[in-house]
Amino acid sequence: MNKLLLVGDNTITPGNYLISYDTASNLTINGEVTLNNPNNPNHDLTINLENNAQLNYHAILYLTTNNNLTITTKNNNVLNLNLVIINTNKNKFTITINMLGSTSRAKISIRALNTDSASNLDIICNGNISKNTFDNEILEDLKGLILHNDSLKISPNITVSTNEVMANHLVTIGSFNPEDLFYLATKGLSIKTAKNLLLHSFVTSILPQELHEYLKMEVIKFE
């Protein structure tokens, strides 16, 4: 995996990259590209896919301010987007997928939580499919985990301006399953250890193995 520092406008050629950036950045994707973002510095990111490009984007976002991610597809694109959002304080995260061309596939998976009871996260996931396009697919798989008496809101929005599209969204927000905690307790685990185990499973389920080491689980405080 190659390390890549993003500054301003960037054109990314095929490869597997570990990225970082200190300011808002604009990316153009050519060919098949994998981007791994383990520590987003809370700057906005705009990504444009050229025709026939494929992007696999995996990110761990330690959110401390409002943040925006905008991705635009053209023709014959594949987009796999996997985001773990760990929020502190009151913030809004807005993701926008603009599908301007045809025969493209976009899957957006988000796993979100707050670090403490005083935090408040509002996620807005927008999917826009343009008119005069055909054979596009978009799927939003958005899940939030309540760890405290905190606030977590997820708004899935898909705007379709054509009849020839497959669009779907799934949103789940909940806390730990008492049956799972009871089962782990019968195996000798404390409640706190059981919660940590389930939490780790929740956030790693959509991340590649090489990003697991970048997770800062100690920032999440619960008993």
Is 90 exceeded by the pLDDT of residue 69? yes
Which pLDDT tens digit goes with each residue over 113-125? 999 989 999 999 9
Cβ–Cβ contacts within 10 Å for residue 76, how many?
Answer: 17
| CB contact at 8 A, 169 and 150 | no
Q: pLDDT grade, residue 222 (50/70/90)? A: low
- Residue 22 CB-half CA count within 13 A: 2
Mean pLDDT throughout 141-165?
90
Cα angle 78-56-96, degrees, rounded to a multiple of 5: 70
CA gap 130, 31 in Å, rounded: 23
Is 90 exceeded by the pLDDT of residue 85? yes
In the numeric block, which tokens belong to residue 210?
């090489």
- The one-character DSSP state at 135 is S
**In the chain, % of residues over pLDDT 70:** 99
Q: pLDDT grade, residue 5 (50/70/90)? A: confident
Is 60 exceeded by the pLDDT of residue 189? yes
What pLDDT, on the 0 to 100 scale, is given for residue 162? 85
| CB contact at 8 A, 175 and 149 | no
Closest CA to 167 of 143, 130, 140, 133: 140
Mean pLDDT throughout 51-77?
96
190 vs 52, which has greater pLDDT?
A: 52
CA gap 165, 202 in Å, rounded: 30
Q: Return the SS3 of 216.
A: coil
What pLDDT, on the 0 to 100 scale, is given for residue 94? 97
Give the DSSP H or E segment for 192.
Answer: helix 191-204
End-to-end CA distance of the chain: 37
Residue position matching structure tokens 């988000």: 110
Q: Return the SS3 of 164.
A: coil
As a whole number, the mean pLDDT across the chain is 91
28 vs 189, which has greater pLDDT?
A: 28
